[in-house]
Amino acid sequence: MRVKYQARNVEVREEGAGPAVVLVHGYPLDGDMWAEVSRRLAAKFRVLRPDLPSRRDTPHPSQPTMAEYAGWIAAVVDAAGGKAGVAGFSMGGYVLFELLRTRPETVAAAAFVDTQASADDGGARQNRNRAIFTAREMGPSAVSDGMIPKLLSTSGRGRPDLVSRVRAIVRRQNPNSIEHDLLAMRERADSLPSLGAIGVPTLVVVGSEDAITPPAKAEEIARGIAGAALVTIPGAGHLAPMENPDAVAAALSEFFARSLR
Ligand code: MLT
């Protein structure tokens, strides 16, 4: 599917048929992180997995903010019929919170995968600034390569095929996407106070070994949203959709089948 963004027609990966489901990726990644989950969901759904701004076909944002990223995802949903199930992984979850605040009518059901509702505290903001400085001085791989071990569980780090697939995605990210994501994440709003206003069916998914947004962060989201279900993926780290696509796809498939009828 092609969707207009910044006066350009952007190619958005699409597979399957049925109710629309949009998968939003995290940092420092792109839509390919969802490839295995998408293939499984495509048996029942029309799955769209766009790249966020500053990646491949998707142009730079006019401002590197979550509002801008959410505006792009809203454009994808609009092009897919105006309403969709949306799953956001980590930074993609921050985008989904913003979408629910600014264009709630576009989200029929929300799945938060290995993410958190809270904003960056002072220490986290300083880390973003340090990462921006390092990426500028030493190149983006000096920042993004350091992410790879944190993305996976101990057992995931012992799977060479998985590590090389993750590394291939991380390494192809360009300096702009790294910096824009860091700025957008640093300035994102605190979504904890608005959890109670989320009125769509909600699923929260987390890898039991997630070291970046641990299970306590997932529990916090699930507690704050009326009727939210929580699924824990045993043994998976932060990047659960790549470590255990069978389990993540099964949880999303059951949830979206129930909520997008
Ligand atoms: C992500 O996986 O998208 C990021 O690690 C999230 C973050 O750094 O806050």
Ligand 1 within 6 A of CB of 116: no
Reply yes or no on whether the pLDDT at 15 is more than 90: yes
Look up residue 29 and give its DSSP letter. Answer: -
In the predicted structure, residue 101 carries a pLDDT above the cut 90: yes
CA distance 244 to 247: 6
In this prediction, residue 140 carries a pLDDT of: 81
Question: Nearest-CA neighbor of 74 among 57, 51, 96, 53?
Answer: 96
Enumerate residues 6+ apart whose C-beta is below 8 A from 192.
117, 118, 220, 224
Using most ligand atoms within 8 A of CB, pick from 23, 150, 213 the residue to mutate for ligand 1. 213
pTM of the model: 0.97
Residue for token pair 């498939």: 253
pLDDT at 35 over 90: yes
Question: Is 185 touching ligand 1 by the criterion CB < 6 Å?
Answer: yes
Calculate how far, in angstroms, residue 90's C-alpha sits from the geometric centre of ligand 1. Answer: 5
Residue with the smallest CA separation from ligand 1 atom 7 is 91
| Spatial distance between the Cα atoms of 112 and 92, rounded to a whole number of angstroms | 8
Residue 212 CB–ligand 1 contact under 6 Å? yes
Determine the Cα–Cα distance for residues 32 and 222; give it in Å rounded to an integer.
27
Determine the distance separating the centroid of ligand 1 and the alpha carbon of 121, expressed in angstroms: 14
Which of 222-253 are b and which e, b meaning 16 or more Cβ less than 10 Å from the residue's Cβ?
bebbeebbbbbbebbbbbbbbbbbebbbbbbb
For a pocket test of ligand 1, which of 91, 112, 166, 170 has the largest count of ligand atoms closer than 8 A to its C-beta?
Answer: 91
Phi, psi of 47, deg, nearest 5: -100, 130
Flag whether pLDDT at 145 surpasses 90: no
List, for residues 180-220, the tens digit of each pLDDT value: 999 999 999 999 999 999 999 999 999 999 999 999 999 99
Taking all residues of the chain, what is their mean pLDDT, rounded to a whole number? 96
Residue 4, strand partner residues: 9
| pLDDT tens for each residue of 215-256 | 999 999 999 999 999 999 999 999 999 999 999 999 999 999
Query: Is 90 a pocket residue for ligand 1 (Cβ < 6 Å)?
Result: yes
pLDDT band at 21 (very low <50, low <70, confident <90, very high): very high
Answer for the pair 1, 10: CB distance below 8 angstroms, yes or no. no
Mean local confidence (pLDDT), 17-24: 98
Residue 135 banded pLDDT, cuts 50, 70, 90: confident
